[in-house]
Structure 1
Amino acid sequence: MASKLLNIIVPGLLIAATGVGAGDLATAAFAGGNLGIAILWAVVLGGLFKFALTEGIARWQLVNGDSFIDGLAKQLGLPFIWIFLIYLVLWSFFVGSALISASGVAMHSLIPIFEPQNGKIIFGILLSLVGLALVRFGNFALFEKVMGISIGIMFFVVVLTALLLWPGMGPFLNGLFIPSIPNLEGNGLTWTVALVGGVGGTLTIFSYGYWIREKQRISASDISVCRIDLLVGYSVTVIFGMAMVIIGSTVPVDGKGTGLILNLANGLENELGTTGRWLFLFGAFFAIFSSLLGVWQAVPYLFADVVRHIKPQINSEDLQNLSQTLSYKGFQIALAIIPMLSLWISFKEVQKLYAIVGTLFMPFLALALLYFNNRTGMKANKSGWFINTLLLITLIFFSYIAWQKFIG
């Protein structure tokens, strides 16, 4: 019974592990440090948004037998696929850069045998190659086991840390069930919006469609299983995010990205002693490394899927065999190696362009799912009112962010 349940929820847990990286840890901690636990409700809202988007992607695939990339190609044409390819390459480079750098810093914090900058470079390169070897030469079962161990460690350590810093049931329930935004006149809205948007990753949600293929979920009858699976996965993500808000609200927050994680660990030493500091660093490392593994394994699926439409004569295999294609293998190697350049080089202007494109992508995805999953061809498997409502709110929310950030 336990093994059957685990088999059901594995893809959702993979989404949870992949969607939590250094940036998500930092955003939740910063939001908690600036606004306290009054914004715990925002973590839940962000989880609901990503649940609706991922459920919509899975629904389309299970009903039509196609990936969502196939749907975009058929409905929007090849020009859009080229645009998506450009976005995918940019996203992959900068996310890969962040994960390699963060993994290197996190490992150096555990094994400080080099100068910090050299430690980031040496350990970052080493962990990227270790991750590549695990996902390239191991099978999907090994990937599941390594990710399962990683998410188990990161979840236990971070939640335990939050419990040791527990603010009390009253403040916790107020922050969870009574929506409010402290310091609304100042930066309260900015941090709340960042927290909602940062829960559960962005492009990594596409990975779910390929992972359920690995689990032989191929028909509309599997939609209900996927809902259970995603409910568990995003529940883990939400609990993890709330734990980081609690930690950030208790310990002084300073720094950027992984530097913030190190500063948090040092702050925890004052609250929980040396053991608390090392436990948190251990959990943070596995949170970051599991995200790296997930991206290294799953994002090449997206690239290979796109190539199926741009160069069908090169990559004509069906979805089940994408991981065996040259485009998958080549992109996987490139993803693990090319972003290493960022360990020495800065690309500030390109990063700004990437941020703009990334922000604009989420409302487009919500709009596409509202259109695709409510067409007559979906028949009895159209999205229900609850998912449609969440998608509509997601569309409005991320459109507002894009307007305020880049147009307004």
Structure 2
Amino acid sequence: MPKLSLLTPFKALGPGLVLAAAGIGAGDVVTATVMGAKFGTQLAWAMLACVILKWALNESMARWQLATGSTMIEACMKRLPRWVSQFFFLYLLIWTFSVGASLASACGLAGHSLFPQLPTWAWGIIHSVMAAALVWGGKFDLFERVMKILVGVMVLTVLVCAILLKPDGLELLRDLFWPSFPPNSGKSVLTIFGGIGGSMTMLCYDYWIRENAWTGPSHRRAVRMDLLLAYGVTVVFAVALTIVAAGCNAVVTQGNGMALEVASRLESALGPVGHWAFLIGFWCAVFASMLGVWQGVPYFFADFMAHRRNAKQPPAEVTQYKNTRVYRGYLLFLAGTPLVLLFANKPVSVVLLFTIIGAFSVPLLATLLLYLNNRRDWIGELRNRWLSNIVLAIALVMFGWIAVTEILGVLAK
């Protein structure tokens, strides 16, 4: 009989931590630190509310796969109008350029901040090649272990910095569970809901639970606990960042430079240890996000190509996609092509199209889950209950409002 310990239940969990690491990228770091510098922890409630909605979306997607054995992409292509999958395919291509370049730039900045001997663009290329090589040559078990290490170091370093700054515990609890709107905070609340917790990376979870051999309704509880762990880590990390930014009196700067500003301020407040701990945590966050995207996103393209109308018989298991030319070809495309944007500004038309399509991706997902997961003949006993439908409806309204706000803001410029 195998030995059991208090850690045994947690060792079985894994895809959730991978999801947390992939979803917490440079954008989340910048968003949380800017909110902390502007409002302290007063918007912590928005971060908690955001991850609850993202948890509901991800749990519904996972429930669909456990019940039907098919991914969301397969469901879109087989059960919905053709324009839905075409919309996703267009968004995937644009997202690849925009997010791939952003991650390369963030990793380049993180690498340069730790080892300034090489320029930012060189570190961006090095990180992209390292991530692609690890995904290409390594098995999922290795990928999962690396991601767990990165997310562990990421959360630990930032959390220690936050504790050393001695935040007011009662004030933090109030800000977490009692919504408030400080002056001029409306746009910031929308930014939190639009950024924290990822968007496209949520779809990766469908493939990662299959890699973990979680199939069938019997794994519903494991998935729920795993996702609670994932989004628990996300909210702890995001709130810790706001505490750090507020505690060190950081000044808001543009883009990824916000992380360097916080690290500089921490050196004054906590000494060199605080400075280097935060930079290491920032590096772990952005590289884990890159590694998760490089490993997970090629699944989307391979899944799409496997189920198009004139496709040959798709692989029997989704986990076999990694060995296909389509998966590996898109991995190379993802890791290589966006690096060109490191040396040039993104065209205005690409930014506009990305904003418009991307803004509607989460509301569209919520709509799909309200439709698909209420069909008893498709999903059976795992169909939505009334509480799931209420939360998904709230997510649809909230993220739909954010989508309209984002588009109007871009068009007004």
TM range (shorter): over 0.9
Paired residue for 2:31?
27
1:79 aligns with 2:112: no
Check whether the contact 1:315–1:327 (CA below 8 A) recurs between aligned residues. Answer: no
Q: Residues 360, 79 of structure 1: CA spacing in aligned structure 2 closer, same or farther, 3 A cutoff?
A: closer
Aligned to 2:269: 271
**Percent of paired sites with the same residue:** 38
Aligned to 1:307: 305
The farther-off stretch of 331-340 and 343-352 is 343-352
The runs of 5 or more residues in structure 1 that have no matched partner are: none
Matched, 1:105 2:102: no
Q: Shift of residue 262 of structure 1?
A: 0.7
Q: Say if 1:35 and 1:181, in contact at 8 Å, map to a contact too.
A: no
Is residue 210 of structure 2 the alignment partner of residue 213 of structure 1?
Answer: yes
Which residue identity lines up with residue 317 of structure 1 in the other structure?
P
Give, in whole Å, the separation in 1 of the partners of 2:391 and 2:34: 26
Q: Secondary structure at the match of 2:335?
A: helix
Distance 2:396 2:80 in 1: 19
Residue 193 of structure 2 contacts residue 399 of structure 2 at CA under 8 Å; is this kept in 1? Answer: no
What TM-score, normalized by structure 1, do the two folds share?
Answer: 0.95
Equivalent residue number for residue 382 of structure 2: 381
Q: What secondary structure, in the 3-state scheme, does the structure 2 residue paired with 1:38 have?
A: coil
Q: Which moved more, 1:286-295 or 1:34-43?
A: 34-43
More helix by share: 1
Task: Pick closer, same or farther for the CA change 1:314–1:107 going to 2, 3 Å.
Answer: farther
Q: How much does 1:60 deviate?
A: 0.6
Q: How far did residue 315 of structure 1 move?
A: 6.5
Residue 171, structure 1, aligned to residue 168, structure 2 = no
Q: Which residue does the alignment assign to 1:137?
A: 137
Question: Is the CA contact 2:363–2:395 (under 8 Å) kept in the aligned structure 1?
Answer: yes
Q: Distance in 2 between matches of 1:386 and 1:18?
A: 28
* One-letter amino acid matched to 1:61: Q
* 3-state SS of paired residue (2:360): helix
Deviation of 1:75 after TM superposition, in Å, equals 2.3
Q: CA RMSD in A?
A: 1.5
- The structural deviation recorded for 1:148 is 1.0
Contact 2:131 2:291 in 1 (8 A): yes
Match of 2:278 in 1: 280
- Give the aligned partner of residue 291 of structure 1: 289
Moved more, 71-80 or 9-18: 71-80
State the 1:405 CA deviation: 2.9
- Kindly indicate whether the alpha-carbon contact (under 8 Å) linking 2:108 and 2:125 is maintained by their aligned counterparts in 1: yes
Q: Which residue of 1 aligns with 2:70?
A: 66
Deviations 1:325-366 (A, max 9, x none): 111110001101111101101114112220121111111101
**Structure 1: how far apart are the matches of 2:207 and 2:160?**
32
The offset of 1:248, in angstroms, is 2.1
Call closer, same or farther: CA 1:157–1:370 in 2, change over 3 Å.
same
Alignment of 1:222-237 (within 5 A): 222-237=219-234
SS at match of 2:40: helix
Provide closer, same or farther for how the CA distance between residues 328 and 311 of structure 1 changes in structure 2, counting only shifts above 3 A. farther
Note if contact 1:29-1:244 (Cα within 8 Å) is conserved in structure 2: yes
Q: Classify 1:213/1:120 alpha carbon distance in 2 versus 1 (closer, same or farther; 3 Å).
A: same
Q: Are the equivalent residues in 2 in contact too, given 1:315–1:325 (CA < 8 A)?
A: no
Contact 2:20/2:231 (<8 A) preserved? yes
Deviates more, 1:240-249 or 1:205-214: 240-249
Aligned to 1:243: 240
> Within 2, Cα distance between the matches of 1:155 and 1:398?
27
Correspondence 1:346 to 2:345: yes
2:260 is matched with 262
78-87 or 282-291, larger mean C-alpha shift: 78-87
Contact 2:64-2:382 within 8 A present in 1 as well: no
In the alignment, the residues of structure 1 paired with residue 347 and residue 40 of structure 2 have an alpha-carbon distance, to the nearest angstrom, of 31
Does residue 53 (structure 1) correspond to residue 51 (structure 2)? The answer is no
Equivalent-residue separation in structure 1 for 2:364 and 2:34 (angstroms)? 28
Deviations 1:285-309 (A, max 9, x none): 0111011000000000011011112
Unaligned runs of 5+ in 2: none
1:167, distance to aligned residue in structure 2 (A): 2.0
Separation (CA, whole Å) in 1 of partners of 2:190 and 2:259: 21
Kindly tell me: are residues 398 and 170 of structure 1, through their superposed partners in 2, closer, same or farther at Cα, counting changes over 3 Å?
same
Which of 196, 201, 206 pairs up with 1:204? 201
SS state at 1:104 partner:
helix
Q: Per the alignment, in what secondary structure is the counterpart of residue 271 of structure 2?
A: helix
